[in-house]
Amino acid sequence: MIDTIIIDGLAFTLPMFIMAIGGIFSEKSGITNLALEGLQGFGAFCGALIAVLITRSSGSHGSIPFYASFLAAVLGGMLYAMVHVILCIRFRANQVISGVVINILAMALTAFLTKRINEFAFNARSDKFVLETSVRFTVPGLSEIPVLGAVFTRVYPFEVLIILVAAVTWYVMYRTTYGLHLRACGDNPHAADAAGINVDRVRTIAVVLSGGLSAIGGMSYAYSISACFSPDIYLGYGYLAIAALIFGNWSIMPTLGACLLFGFARSAGSAIIQRLGMPSTFNDLVRILPYVLTLVLLIFFSKDNKSPRALGEIYDKGKR
């Protein structure tokens, strides 16, 4: 049972974690990003469409559609993030409203496009792009370690990809000049501008990166939990990622801990239901466990959070 909790928990945690990192990049630069839900959904739509097109046109299965879908998802997520850039940086719109609108637009737009594409291109009346569940692998030797071996058992390829990308983003955030500029823009954009940093450019790159990282998370869910792209991809995963980064105080490693907590809460609930032989209808209750946990954590930890000092503030160079 413990092995199952770990295996399923990591499969849910890591996509949420990479989305949360995307949110950290955006918010560390000073741009509030509630659009993670929409970014992951739109990215997953682009990736799933490419995967279906490749499979139908060439009959290719396996790794080619899989990796092509992730590349398309990243590009789609980054492109869609430009909407947030234009609204918040170019036109200085309210960042919270922009994020909410982007989420609603993504859900409606992808649902509409999925139905129309299925109808006209594939002659099917469906609101989803069906994908093959990603192949999983087990690491010999390491998988035999008691308890910890579950980490190396039935691993999705995207889990390895996410860990590698997360390591790169940690290095960029804390060990590069861009990361230093990013954090400066989120704490004191006027001082950063006085030091010669192009605040708008730093923030634009950060928001675009958040779109690409969120899309990786969305595509991972499409290839695991959902096994398709459909409106069900918008189940609040992006909002959980936002909650995780807040609990992690906008730092990457503490945010990983919050994501693990949410992921294991979900997988433990499912495992308990299966162990007790309860009806499948109780799985719906399991889905709310991470959200209930979020509310409880908000009560005890929200007062100690320290967000970037200029988070959500509209930067006007003329007021320097």
Residue 295 has pLDDT above 80, yes or no: no
Residue 320 has pLDDT above 60, yes or no: no
Q: Under a CB-based contact definition with an 8 Å cutoff, are residues 182 and 30 in contact? A: no
Q: Under a CB-based contact definition with an 8 Å cutoff, are residues 47 and 216 in contact? A: no
Structure token digits, residue 54: 């490749």
Determine the Cα–Cα distance for residues 179 and 25; give it in Å rounded to an integer.
9
Determine the Cα–Cα distance for residues 46 and 285; give it in Å rounded to an integer.
30
- The mean predicted confidence, pLDDT, of the chain is 90
Q: What is the pLDDT of residue 319?
A: 64
N-terminal to C-terminal alpha carbon distance within the chain: 58
- Residue 155 is classified by DSSP as B
Domains and CATH numbers, the chain: 14-251+307-315 (1.10.3470)
Q: Under a CB-based contact definition with an 8 Å cutoff, are residues 232 and 225 in contact? A: no
Residues in the chain: 320
- Residue 228 is classified by DSSP as E
Give the mean pLDDT of 32-46. Answer: 97
Determine the Cα–Cα distance for residues 7 and 65; give it in Å rounded to an integer.
24
- For helices 157-175 and 199-222, angle between their N-to-C axes, nearest 10 degrees: 160
Q: What is the pLDDT of residue 32?
A: 97
pLDDT in tens, 138-160: 999 888 898 889 999 999 999 99
Determine the Cα–Cα distance for residues 137 and 92; give it in Å rounded to an integer.
47
Instruction: Calculate the dihedral angle through the C-alpha atoms of 184, 185, 189, 194, rounding to the nearest 10 degrees.
Output: 60
pLDDT grade, residue 302 (50/70/90)?
A: low
At which residue do the structure tokens 């099917």 appear? 124
Question: Would you call 91 exposed, middle or buried from its count of C-beta atoms within 10 A (0-12, 13-18, 19+)?
Answer: exposed
Q: Which amino acid is at 208?
A: V
Q: Under a CB-based contact definition with an 8 Å cutoff, are residues 237 and 40 in contact? A: yes
Determine the Cα–Cα distance for residues 225 and 304; give it in Å rounded to an integer.
33
pLDDT in tens, 69-104: 999 999 999 999 999 999 999 999 999 999 999 999
pLDDT in tens, 228-261: 998 888 888 999 999 999 989 999 999 999 999 8
At which residue do the structure tokens 């923030």 appear? 203
- Residue 249 is classified by DSSP as T
Determine the Cα–Cα distance for residues 183 and 307; give it in Å rounded to an integer.
11
Give the mean pLDDT of 97-115. Answer: 96
pLDDT grade, residue 297 (50/70/90)?
A: confident
pLDDT grade, residue 273 (50/70/90)?
A: confident
Q: Under a CB-based contact definition with an 8 Å cutoff, are residues 246 and 305 in contact? A: yes
Determine the Cα–Cα distance for residues 210 and 39; give it in Å rounded to an integer.
8
